[in-house]
Structure 1
Amino acid sequence: MKINHFWIGVIVLLTLSLFPGSAWAQQLDPSLQDLIQKGLDKSHTVNVYDLDVEKAQVDQKLAKSVFLPKVTLNGSYTRLNDDITFDDDTKNLLMATQKLLIKEAAGIPFNAPFPENIPLQQPNNLQDKNILKSSVDLDWVLFSGLEATNALRAAKHKEASMNFAGLAEKDRTVIKIIETYDKLALINASEKVLSASEEYLTEQEFFVKKAIENGLATPISRKKIELAKQQLSAKQLEFSHNKTLLIEVLHQLTGEEKENLKLLQPELSSILVNTPENSEKRNEIKALEEAEKATDFKAKMERSKFIPKVALKGHYEFLEEDLSLFDPQWYVGVGIRWNIFDGDQSRLKSLQSKLESKKYREQIEEAEEMIALSQIKAQLNYEAALQHTEIAKKEIELAEATYEMVDKQYRNDLTSINEVLDSLKDLEKAKFQLQQSFFDQRRATTALLHAKGLLNY
């Protein structure tokens, strides 16, 4: 058994040192873990970031779709005021040429008259007045001048930025829920302290009543106890109001039914973590870095508009009979488009993206400085909170011993009721202080893990 206990201790220490965030999460109440999960599912801000991620994914698909062929089906009917034909001189020329060809084919001399019994074909119209067309067009970008490629990379980094921003928002949501839950636990602990004080006062009231009956105390002592009980009731009412408000806040954060939240009995206890000296990069920093990369590729995308673009074009007419004499039934071609000058718009848009990238760089440096400071502050607060908890425990021991001593002195008529009530208030205050120290310690632990980027949930 000793060996088992030893290895269990080793495993716990390794877990605390290697996985401080996971070890911290395992120390949370199951009810709190359930509320955190519901809060993450309900958070509107988190859901907005998730939608932004999906939007960035759609942007990537749009960038890729540039290289997919575009096929278009066309259909139209047009009626002209008249057929489009050759002019009279051209018609006469065509008819004369037709006669010459027929003579030559029939072996008729050139100067001989054209036989009347041979029919002639009238020249076709250049375009009939009734035009029915049905066709298909093919447009296929073969090379976008790297514009689509840079747009795709920008969208990927934007997606990553939104992902990290969403994780940062989840951390903030978790902290809010934990703090509210711990406040509710502090209220419950305070109510227990007040209940214990009420029992003490009831016991003192009974003793004073007997003392008055035996002429060992005055009615003033009883009035002092009654005043103390009224003050205690006022505190109980204040805590009840605070509890109602905290339940409303938890309901808003998690969507959990209020009736279920009223049944919760959270308790405060110490949470110990062993954080490494080297911290993880915060999600806020990662989000800004990815946003910076996205704007860099956006700037490249704007500059790449000056690179020539190559595309394939195809066309096919389904209805050949309504085509004019000059219209082809189909064609295929490859073209190039080179934007030489666009009124300086691309350069200015690229400059805007560069400036935005520099803005993100400034925000990153500022955030890193603030996070470094917050880590030092959080570490100091955590160490102070641990010390305050130990002091609060010692204060309770002293306050309990003092109250027992003063109570015995009062029962032996060696002190006044004021001393008893004062010592009772000191005991009540010491118990409050212990619960407050637990609350502060849990907040300091959460803040330390968050500052070091270890608030993994």
Structure 2
Amino acid sequence: MNRNNTSIKFLLIALLVIAPSITVAQELDPVLKDLIHKGLEKNHKVNTNRLDSEQAKVDQQMAKSVFLPKITFNGSYARLNDDITFDDATQTLLIETQKLIIKDAVGIPFNSPFPDNIPLQDAPNLQDKNILKTSVDLDWVLFSGLEASNALKASKHKETSLNFVGMAEKDKVALQIIEAYDKLALVKASKKVLTNTENYLNEQAIYVKKAVENGLATPISRKKIELAQQQLEAKKLEFNHNNILLIEVLHQLTGETKANLSRLNPQLESFSIVSHSNTEKRNEVKALEEAEKATRYQAKMEKSNFIPKVAVKGHYEFIEDDLSLLDPKWFIGVGVQWRVFDGNASRLKSKKTALESLKYQEKINEAQEMINLSIIKAELTYEASQQNTYIVQKEIELANDTYEMVNKQYKNNLASVTELLDALNDVEKANFKLQESYFNERRAVADLLHAKGILTY
């Protein structure tokens, strides 16, 4: 192997591997952004949360509808076993009263017998046995004792809380897709490293074969090269399996076709963020705060059970003939309901809800403490990964120089083939470590942005 060609190849590999570390990545890959948006549309938890939010909106509409008048149309038919009439004594009294009125009207003396030629009317039934009714009822709440207004405010805060929960869930989905995408990039980069190693082994195999033929090396050296090639094939198979698995993961997360995912060629690049980036309140905390507000209004709603409620009640009968003598054709009125004691049920419910509000406050404090800890952890991890990237780049330089030196010694019979393969293995490991360092660096940045509540996608 020509030494100058070997040096040029190692220089190209070093530039290829180290170049991404110079790139400052402030924005996500557009392909990755598209996958995240598809994943958010597909994710079942995100869609379920959206439906929960829609239900909260319906609860608000229900709270408002309390003050809308309720109009009900009724219709019924009933048949009694007989007409409901006055008793005999009352009927006799009504007939005799009718006779006195007629006598007075026609000028017949009070003590004179009643003429037979003047017809009398029978006493009407109190209720005919055939009853057909059609009517309309009006129920209209004018004042709910603040119960409906507090329920409306509680449901509004509940909706806002669910929206923040949905946003927090979207962040989790985005992080999962980013990690899977970066793992796929790591596999692709690792495959390039293996391909370069394969090229070196093939060149060494050709050299060793000629050396054996010329008596400059033993067959054992050739077998060691062949063993290294087989080990390399095993590594290639492992990374192919990882590639297939990651495509399956991305397909499950995003719904994108496997054919399109298999054509992706993501690149690992060093991420860079401004160290003094602002910290925003996390969606998880916002969701807990809104849930705490919702429980407070729920407690007020339960307390308002003792405030008087005012409502209008109306009724109108369309068929008058089948009404009893005591039934009105229509009526309208205003009523007041005032519950002064309910066995402490409302007070205890309100107390229980107030305790629930205190629980949310504890959860908020706990979440904030965990977030502060995660920010510090992510910052330290990011700093360590950056330092590790710098160290690995130095390791690559050293491994390349060592390989060149051992390769030269081997060709001059000053080093064994085992030493040569060990030096090549060090080059391979160093390149792997650099890609892994980029991966860890990007993970730390994503975690830091998420912890600070400024992750965008």
Q: Which TM-score band applies after superposition, normalised by the shorter structure? A: over 0.9
* 1:348 CA drift (Å): 1.9
* 1:93 CA drift (Å): 1.4
Query: Contact 1:379–1:448 at 8 Å: present in 2 too?
Result: yes
Counterpart position of 2:105: 105
Of 179-188 and 258-267, deviating more is 258-267
Counterpart position of 2:445: 445
**In structure 2, distance between residues paired with 1:114 and 1:240:** 120
Can you list the C-alpha shifts for 1:216-270, whole angstroms capped at 9, x where unaligned? 1111111111111111111111111111211111111111222222121111111
* 1:343 CA drift (Å): 2.4
Query: Contact 1:27–1:271 at 8 Å: present in 2 too?
Result: no
Counterpart position of 1:317: 317
**In structure 2, distance between residues paired with 1:355 and 1:240:** 55
Match of 2:325, SS state, is coil
**In structure 1, distance between residues paired with 2:216 and 2:310:** 109
Quick one: percent identity of the two aligned structures? 68
Can you list the C-alpha shifts for 1:108-161, whole angstroms capped at 9, x where unaligned? 222222222221111111111111000000001111111111111111111011
Letter of the 2:212 partner, please give it: I
Counterpart position of 1:386: 386
**In structure 1, distance between residues paired with 2:369 and 2:27:** 31
* 1:447 CA drift (Å): 0.3
Letter of the 2:35 partner, please give it: L
**In structure 2, distance between residues paired with 1:90 and 1:275:** 101
**Runs of 4+ in structure 1 displaced over 3 angstroms?**
275-278
Match runs of 1:149-228 below 5 Å: 149-228=149-228
**In structure 1, distance between residues paired with 2:42 and 2:262:** 20
The runs of 5 or more residues in structure 2 that have no matched partner are 1-23
Match runs of 1:274-423 below 5 Å: 274-423=274-423
Letter of the 1:348 partner, please give it: L
* 1:79 CA drift (Å): 0.8
Counterpart position of 1:261: 261
Match runs of 1:31-42 below 5 Å: 31-42=31-42
Counterpart position of 1:243: 243
Letter of the 2:327 partner, please give it: D
* 1:277 CA drift (Å): 5.0
Letter of the 1:266 partner, please give it: P
Letter of the 1:135 partner, please give it: S
**In structure 2, distance between residues paired with 1:275 and 1:134:** 77
The runs of 5 or more residues in structure 1 that have no matched partner are 1-22
Can you list the C-alpha shifts for 1:10-36, whole angstroms capped at 9, x where unaligned? xxxxxxxxxxxxx97x72222211211
* 1:392 CA drift (Å): 2.0
* 1:428 CA drift (Å): 0.6
**In structure 2, distance between residues paired with 1:433 and 1:96:** 119
Of 400-409 and 32-41, deviating more is 400-409
Counterpart position of 1:133: 133
* 1:405 CA drift (Å): 2.1
Match of 2:334, SS state, is strand
Q: 2:80 matched to 1:80?
A: yes
Q: TM-score, normalised by structure 2?
A: 0.92
Counterpart position of 1:93: 93
Can you list the C-alpha shifts for 1:338-387, whole angstroms capped at 9, x where unaligned? 11222222122212211211111111111100100111111111122222
Can you list the C-alpha shifts for 1:50-73, whole angstroms capped at 9, x where unaligned? 111011111111111111111111
Letter of the 1:360 partner, please give it: Y
Letter of the 1:383 partner, please give it: E
**In structure 2, distance between residues paired with 1:353 and 1:192:** 60
Query: Contact 1:66–1:141 at 8 Å: present in 2 too?
Result: yes
* 1:275 CA drift (Å): 5.0
Match of 1:78, SS state, is strand
Q: TM-score, normalised by structure 1?
A: 0.92
Letter of the 2:187 partner, please give it: I
Match of 1:119, SS state, is coil
**In structure 2, distance between residues paired with 1:275 and 1:306:** 56
**In structure 1, distance between residues paired with 2:29 and 2:320:** 78
Can you list the C-alpha shifts for 1:405-452, whole angstroms capped at 9, x where unaligned? 221222222222222111111111111111111101110110010000
Match of 2:270, SS state, is coil
Letter of the 1:69 partner, please give it: P
**In structure 1, distance between residues paired with 2:310 and 2:239:** 74
CA spacing shift, 1:277–1:267, aligned 2, 3 Å = closer
Match of 2:327, SS state, is coil
Q: CA RMSD in A?
A: 1.4
* 1:200 CA drift (Å): 0.3
Match of 1:272, SS state, is coil
**In structure 1, distance between residues paired with 2:456 and 2:148:** 36
